[in-house]
Amino acid sequence: MATKPPDRATLRKVSNLDDDIEASLREEIREDEDRARDEAGLDELPRADHAPEDDAREDYERAIPRLTGEVRPIATLGRVLAGLLGLSALTSLAQIWSNLLHIEFLELLRVGATVSNLAAEANDERVLLLTFLQLGIILVSAFTFLFWVRRAYGNLAAFHYQRQHGVGWSIGAWFVPFLNLYRPFTIVKEIYCASNPQRRIGDTVPLQAPFVMYAWWTSIMLSRGVTRFEAKMDFDTLPQMLAATRFAYVSYSVGALAAVLAAVVVYQTTQRQAALIRRLSSTAPPTTF
């Protein structure tokens, strides 16, 4: 027995019934929202597609969630360099002690006292040993510093930051006359400021360095001036040798201060950049806000 298909009037009634049910459901949903809004004391409920969690996620995405290029590890290199600079400061202090003994030796010669050949040889050997030791440590520290500053400056490109100079200037600026009076300092300051681990995308990077960095560069400039003045002193006579040896106290003291301040600058800058690298290396957004 064949079933008779529904006529148009029946279909129209069914369609109207569906519309009535949908309208009734919408009205119930609207009443529920109004009741929830009144209970919460809100003018408007949050939209489902823009919940408070989405705002927190947008803030996270703006806070530099990932690296934009290759970075080279900096933490171990920075610690090694800080250690070398500390060792350089210790050798400067050892030179001050050696200088005191050398002045006593020269004073004996000045007053005509008898000095044995053994004592003279021991004095010369001590002076030469400490001089070559300090020179070696200074050279290794300088090479490591240049390697460190180039790596740290090169890493800035991966931190959503546009460097003010080419990476090559991080080394070359130290060897260009007049330019080496300020450019190396501005590059190190730029590294420190751009490595702020709390920096966010779009934020202006204020190039404001801490006091210790200005003190470090001042000691560098002072050390250069003292070294040049010392190089022009004569050693032809015994009084001249005594004067130059006494002035060496100033040279070694300034050198020790510069090395200590440099170690602090390197350590602080390395810690900041290493923290920023660790933060940006974790690309997955947090699950809770």
Q: Write the pLDDT tens digit of every residue in 151-210.
A: 999 999 888 788 899 999 999 999 999 999 999 999 999 999 999 888 776 667 778 889
pLDDT over 80 (residue 59): no
Q: What is the mean pLDDT of residues 225-238?
A: 88
Alpha carbons 191 and 270: distance in angstroms, whole number: 9
pLDDT in tens, 19-55: 666 666 667 667 766 665 565 554 544 444 444 455 5
pLDDT in tens, 112-135: 888 888 988 999 999 999 999 999
Alpha carbons 149 and 167: distance in angstroms, whole number: 9
pLDDT of residue 27: 72
pLDDT of residue 28: 67
Does the predicted TM-score (pTM) go above 0.95?
no
With beta carbons less than 8 A apart as the criterion, state whether 92 and 253 touch: yes
pLDDT of residue 284: 41
pLDDT over 90 (residue 68): no
pLDDT of residue 48: 43
Report residue 228's pLDDT band, with 50, 70 and 90 as the boundaries: very high
With beta carbons less than 8 A apart as the criterion, state whether 109 and 115 touch: yes
pLDDT of residue 162: 86
pLDDT over 50 (residue 233): yes
pLDDT over 90 (residue 109): no
With beta carbons less than 8 A apart as the criterion, state whether 192 and 272 touch: yes
With beta carbons less than 8 A apart as the criterion, state whether 147 and 73 touch: no
With beta carbons less than 8 A apart as the criterion, state whether 148 and 187 touch: no
Alpha carbons 196 and 116: distance in angstroms, whole number: 61
